[in-house]
Amino acid sequence: MLTIDNLSKTYANGVHALQGVNLSISRGLFGLLGPNGAGKSSLMRTLATLQEADTGTVFLDDVDVLKDKHAVRRVLGYLPQDFGLYPRIDAQSLLSHFARLKGLGDAKERAEVVQSLLRLTNLWDVRKQKLGTFSGGMRQRFGIAQALLGNPQLIIVDEPTTGLDPEERRRFLNLLSKIGEDAVVILSTHLVADVRELCSDMAVINKGQVLVQGMPSELVSELEGRIWRAEMDDESEVDQLGEEAILLSTHLNAGRTVARVESGTQPGPGYASVEPNLEDVYFSALRGGKPLPVM
């Protein structure tokens, strides 16, 4: 169990990156959703012991994450949003090097671990290939392989599917799903689809504050009867909503504007009640809609 209590961080330029963050995260895949600049990466870097917090506590079971950094790093796997690789080294050699740094001194044991991780991440057939020739998805899978060295109890992946094509994204998400069976895995992303497909627990964060936490299915059910949809020729018609209505999102479909709105009653003529989805939960939290539980 990872327990975060009243965690805050303000940078030297005055930006309040984290403001009293409280989260309880159990084993499995946990989705941390939020727009760019919401504080997701600041939280990930703090949990990964790469920056100090101003206030608050974080415990991984009995380990004090903020004070006992060496103990945390022994059980931590981290895949940051941007990470560098040595382009002229092959995947097997670099992973073996990282394994040595992680404390795997015995050559036979290290070789077995490296082989196992390369197979798990579907990189065995390209193990002798230079990393500079890897595609984006292959690089991300190599990043996960190094993050899994040492059987970590806490794994943090920050925006891992950004820029991946659909096939690589699917392969990567399937890999994360396997990993989530044995550790606390935090998936930080701005892509609702990643959380919808993978995570049994999630939170939405914005401007350094947790807006909502819970099981995706339960959060969606909280919006039953409150989501309305309408198609219109002119987006200005959205302005005719009732005072209690909150515009969640709009998109174009065959030249017409499609609006999704949160309201306790029909927000205007032409609006039909529809089933809520996880995107509605996300936008409702960001737009300040009906309060949802922070568990």
The packing angle between helices 136-147 and 107-120, to 10°, is: 140
Mean pLDDT, residues 23-46: 93
Q: How confident is the model at residue 131 (pLDDT cuts 50, 70, 90)?
A: very high
The packing angle between helices 136-147 and 166-179, to 10°, is: 10
List Cβ neighbours of 239 (8 Å cut-off, separation of 6 or more).
Answer: none
Mean pLDDT, residues 35-42: 91
Mean pLDDT, residues 68-79: 91
Please write the tens of the pLDDT for every residue from 170-191. Answer: 888 888 888 888 889 999 988 8
How far are the Cα atoms of 26, 73, 136, 189 from residue 181, in angstroms, in the given order? 11, 20, 25, 20
**pLDDT greater than 70 at residue 91:** yes
pLDDT of residue 292: 42
Q: In terms of C-beta density within 10 A (0-12 exposed, 13-18 middle, 19 or more buried), how is residue 34 classed? A: buried
Mean pLDDT, residues 257-271: 88
pLDDT of residue 234: 66
Mean pLDDT, residues 70-91: 88
Please write the tens of the pLDDT for every residue from 142-172. Answer: 988 998 898 899 999 988 887 778 888 888 8
pLDDT of residue 293: 43
Q: How confident is the model at residue 117 (pLDDT cuts 50, 70, 90)?
A: very high
Tell which wins on pLDDT, 202 or 288: 202
List Cβ neighbours of 131 (8 Å cut-off, separation of 6 or more).
Answer: 85, 86, 87, 88, 89, 90, 91, 94, 139, 142
Mean pLDDT, residues 92-99: 94
Q: How confident is the model at residue 199 (pLDDT cuts 50, 70, 90)?
A: very high
Domains of the chain: 2-214 (3.40.50.300), 220-287 (no CATH)
The answer to whether the pTM exceeds 0.95 is no
Q: Rounded to 5 degrees, what angle do the CA atoms 250, 256, 260 make? A: 30
Tell which wins on pLDDT, 23 or 244: 23
Residue with tokens 């002798």: 128
**In percent, how much of the chain has pLDDT > 70?**
94
The separation between the first and the last C-alpha atoms of the chain, rounded to the nearest angstrom, is: 14
Average pLDDT, the chain: 89
